[in-house]
Structure formats: C-alpha cells, structure tokens
Amino acid sequence: MTIKEEVLKNQIPQHIAIIMDGNGRWAKKRGNNRIFGHKNGVTAVRETVEAAAEIGVKYLTLYAFSTENWARPKDEVTALMSLLVESIHNELTTLLENNIKLRAIGNIDSLPGNVRQNLNQAIQKTSHCTGLTLILALSYSSRWEIIEAVKKISAEVKNNKLSIDAIDVQLFNQYLNTNEYPDPELLIRTSGELRISNFLLYQIAYTELYFTPVLWPDFRKDDFFKAILDYQKRERRFGKTSEQIKK
C-alpha cells in the first residue's frame, strides 16, 4: 500500500498552509547560490499542488514571499520576483487543465508592476475554476495583515459606520486578507525550523502544526501525504475534553 492509499479520504483537511523553507540551505549544500535553491523549489511547488488536488484538498496556501523578505540582498529579491513571474506564466496552462483557481493574499500593491500584471492575469483566467484554490501569500506578514484590519475597522468606527460593540471575532475576520477562506486545519513547515515566521498568526489559533526536516526543494508528494497522515492521527479538541469530543 502506498502512502497516498493510507490517507483516509473522509478526513482530508480542507485547508492546508505551507511555509516553504530551506531553499538557501539546499543550494549551499550543493555549492550554489540561494537563487539555485529557489529555482529548484518550483518542482516542490508543482508536486505539492498536484498532490493537494489529487487527494481533494480545497484550499492550499503557500507562503511564497514575506514582507520581511524585502530586506534580503537586492539581487536575491530581484531574482525571486523574476522567478515568480516566470513560474506563474509557465504554470498557467497546468492550473487551467487541473481546474485550479489561483488567488493571492498580502500587500500585492508593493510588488513590481510586471509581477502584479502576471499575477492578476492568472487570477482572472482561473477565476472560473472550481477545484483546488491555490492561494499565494506574497509580500505578506500576519502582523501587517492584522494592523491593516485594525486601521480599516478604526476608520469605520471614526466615521460612525461601525459601532465598537459590533466588533467580535466574526466581524474581525471580515477585514482579514483571508476572509473568503476557512482557517487552515494543518500547517506544514519544511527544513526543520520550529517557528511560524509571522504567517497566518490569527488564523492558526487551532491549526495542527507539522514540522519536517525535509528541505523545500526535496519536498515531494509522499512528504505531503505523510503530513496528512500525521494530522489524521491527532485529536482536535478546540478547548474541549476528549470525552466531549467523543460524544
């Protein structure tokens, strides 16, 4: 029996988020620069998206570029932006053939014009797709997202469009970048690092965390299925007791 066949089809997380980490270390081990690692990471993205679509995941969010990544060396940022444009262009046909809808969260306005153009075109061309929704987190950080939400809510309160008493969890969710999507049930981080790195901090309050030592360029379908298998062995209580859950 393959790893994929072991996965219980009636317990697939509908939303999985991934911190794709380890490109730089993967390249360094091979005596190459970080860009070499990022380029080879594209294969892992393709494999992961295919695996998610095959097994019935509804939403897949990939942490592609954080707001903090802008502080990296200029040549690396420039190369990452070029790679992003190239990847979106090259993968568009595959997305359409597999009924995958592309979306994005983050400070999209901060991206270079050619990146925004390619991204928006791909989002528009896949808008009719009804299978997996692939969400790219670009120029994204959770603290930025939360502050932006607070600013918008504050402006509406100031302009008497919103009462302070109306602010609750449900309302706050409406002002987040992720307001159209359910919270992730599973968060995967590659490369062995044990941190969240400012990713979906509000949304992962009850998300199951899975850390793997596999560097991102080496991440394949079986690694993805292993994460789901691990998730399926866990008991999700949401603050309740085991006895309450089993009733």
Question: 120 catalytic, yes or no?
Answer: no
Determine phi and psi for 65, rounding to 5 degrees: -160, 120
Q: Which of 21, 23, 177, 223 is catalytic?
A: 21
Tell me the two tokens of residue 183. 């919270």
Tell me the two tokens of residue 203. 């949304």
Q: Which of 23, 32, 33, 69 is catalytic?
A: 69
Question: 114 catalytic, yes or no?
Answer: no
Give the whole-angstrom CA distance, residue 15 versus residue 33. Answer: 33
Catalytic residue ranges: 21, 69
